[in-house]
Amino acid sequence: MDKIRALIVDDSSVMRKIIERSLRQAGIDLENVVEAGNGAEALAALRENRVDLILCDINMPVMDGLEFVRQMGAVENAKGVPVVMITTEGSESHVVEAISCGARGYIRKPFTPDQVKEHVVPLLGKKV
Amino acid sequence: MSVDTSAAVRSREENWQPILELAVEEVFEIMVGSRVKPAPRSEHKTSAGFTAMIGLAGSLCGVLAVGCDAQTAKQIAKGMLGDIVTSEEQVSDALGEICNMVAGNFKNKLTGMDGRCLLSVPTVISGGQYQLRSLAGGDLLDVCVLFEGAPVAVRLELHS
């Protein structure tokens, strides 16, 4: 099993810790976790770090998650990296918008570790 | 009839109170690992050591607030994070996320709100020497649950 480098984007530091714990509970072997508090910080983090997976909130100050997903394609390190949105915005229109922006998965808060496993592990392919 | 008025009317016609109660129960069970049940607010006076608030705008306008005493807020944060909770900032952050998830879970359970109701980022007040006055002036949904025996008040004020 490969070790996974993850970028977790959420304006709540508590939620970032919970998402990291959920990834570990899902059986994902994390080598490194980079945290960002909004989309702009996440773009900056991506320019300096290679990651295998991005989990991203939508409602955040400065730059929201949808705008981040739109802009991350311009960052070399982000090419081909799957993004899963983890958000309270659970409406169908938000899901459609997120997917059209480039997200590969969508998890509604509140969430269980099993839901994280179900949505994230298939995206990692042979790495897990 | 404005959109806001129809939301206030819907809250009465469709009885949103149990929907809000369910939204609160689910958030505590899944994210805090604790089963909570609604309790009569009149029997449990809450002293607001921490109050988290979040605004709703669009087809559903108003403010949702979650309040409890400081010790209860710390226990909620520990339920979410474990014993690594040490700072007031972490406690505020945790209660803000509870408020955020209750609001999101509630609106996701309502039919016909698809994408037309947006949430603000949460705000958390610590201390009890304040009075919260919403300019909503509409309907009020009030839920009180007991978390480890202590009351947690959840209040949704809808714009009229």
Contact predicate A12/A58, CB 8 Å:
no
The burial of B48, by beta-carbon neighbours within 10 Å (0-12 exposed, 13-18 middle, 19 or more buried), is given as buried
Residues of A in contact with B27 (CB under 8 A): 110
Give tens-digit pLDDT for B40-84. Answer: 877 767 677 999 999 999 888 899 999 999 999 999 999 999 888
Best B26, B32, B101 residue to mutate vs chain A (most A CBs within 10 Å) = B101
Q: What percent of chain A has a predicted confidence (pLDDT) above 70? A: 97
What's the whole-number mean pLDDT along residues B140-152? 94
Query: ipTM of this predicted complex?
Result: 0.88
- We report the CATH number of the domain holding residue A54 as 3.40.50.2300
Worst-scoring range by mean pLDDT, B81-90, B112-121, B146-155? Answer: B112-121
Q: Considering CB atoms only, which of A14, A60, A88 is closest to B81?
A: A14
Give tens-digit pLDDT for A29-39. Answer: 999 999 999 99
Contact predicate A36/A47, CB 8 Å:
no
Residues of A in contact with B105 (CB under 8 A): 88, 90, 109-110
B97 contact A CB<8A = yes
Q: Considering CB atoms only, which of B81, B115, B119 is closest to A17?
A: B81
| B:34-73 residues touching chain A, CB 8 A cutoff | none
How high is the pLDDT of residue A19? 97
Split into its structural domains, chain A has a count of 1
Report whether pLDDT(B137) > 70: no
CB contact under 8 A, A88 and B104: yes
Report whether pLDDT(B39) > 90: no
SS3 track for chain A: CCCEEEEEECCCHHHHHHHHHHHHHCCCCEEEEEEECCHHHHHHHHHHCCCCEEEECCCCCCCCHHHHHHHHCCCHHHCCCCEEEEECCCCHHHHHHHHHHCCCEEEECCCCHHHHHHHHHHHHHHHC
Give tens-digit pLDDT for A48-93. Answer: 999 999 999 999 999 999 999 999 999 999 999 999 999 998 888 8
Q: Which domain range does residue A45 map to? A: 4-127
* Chain A residue whose CA is closest to B120: A59
How high is the pLDDT of residue B2? 42
Report whether pLDDT(A128) > 80: no
Q: Which domains does chain B have, with CATH numbers?
A: 3-158 (3.40.1550.10)
The reported pTM is 0.90
